[in-house]
Amino acid sequence: MFAAAQPASADELPVNLFTGRGFDACAAPSLTTMRRWARHSPYGAAGIYFGGINRACAQPRLTPDWVASVDRMGWRLLPLYAGLQAPCRKGGHRLRRIDPAQARDQGRDQAADAVSRADALGLDQGSALYLDMENYPRGNARCTRAVLDFVVGWTVEIQDSGYWAGFYSSADSGIADLAAARRAGLGPLPDALWYAHWNGRARTSKAKHLSPQAWSDHQRVHQYRGNVRESYGGAALTVDRNAVDSAVAVVRY
């Protein structure tokens, strides 16, 4: 059962806010690339996949030293956790999905793992940790309920651990379902949303499926274009582009 919507605990946490442009990439780039992009690219934030059973890329470079080094360069980090996915999401046999009967507990367990991994990398309390819930077909009530139960479990554990609870998904699936849950007064829901809507518009206002009042106080990241090859300072990456107005990582070193 959902509880009534409650004020986000993040209001009481330390916070590191960033407003500007960001990118995310499947694997953490080399320090040389990050240094060149810091000097020559329009980006000031970088998304990093720091854990999760469904993480697609190995992360040989993602270490506490890498995190501290890019923070000193001036980068702000957006940590992404690729956990269990919606039970109705299509995919190969390797895709691990939520069990609807255990969704709330699984959300809490995955959040606890995320906190442990974040802490090991030097991502301190007050950081936003974004659950990556990839696009799934809407219209299946059982699937939607499982996702929302999982997100509630994630949110509670992340907040109880002293972090901001973030959530990434497609504007047309996970974000739309969370917006509907908010309108229904259900929760607790994440403190910040990162929505994928590849419309090419680098802004966080006028978000699809979100009312102007929803997650509007420095609580949004908009992934507005995906799978773009870009080169700055002679270093090339394939990235997704993001407009950021939200909490980022607090780095400890």
Reported as a single tens digit per residue, the pLDDT across 5-64 is 333 444 567 799 999 999 999 999 999 999 999 999 999 999 999 999 999 999 999 999
**Rounded Cα gap, residues 201 and 3, in angstroms:** 35
**Rounded Cα gap, residues 235 and 238, in angstroms:** 11
**Rounded Cα gap, residues 204 and 246, in angstroms:** 10
Q: Return the number of other C-beta atoms located less than 10 Å from residue 32's C-beta.
A: 11
AA identity, residue 90: K
Regions in the chain scoring below 50 on pLDDT: 1-10
110 belongs to a structural domain: yes
The reported pLDDT for the residue numbered 11 is 53
The reported pLDDT for the residue numbered 91 is 82
**Rounded Cα gap, residues 100 and 46, in angstroms:** 33
Query: 136: Cβ–Cβ under 8 A, 6 or more apart, which residues?
Result: 85, 86, 88, 89, 143, 147, 170, 173, 174
* Domain carrying residue 221: 3-247
99 belongs to a structural domain: yes
130 belongs to a structural domain: yes
83 belongs to a structural domain: yes
252 belongs to a structural domain: no
Q: How many domains does the chain have?
A: 1
For residue 9, the domain's CATH number is: 3.20.20.80
148 belongs to a structural domain: yes
**Rounded Cα gap, residues 135 and 175, in angstroms:** 10
Name residue 244's beta-bridge partners.
20, 221
Supply angle C-alpha 168, 171, 174, rounded to 5: 55
CA-CA-CA-CA torsion sign (92, 80, 159, 169): negative
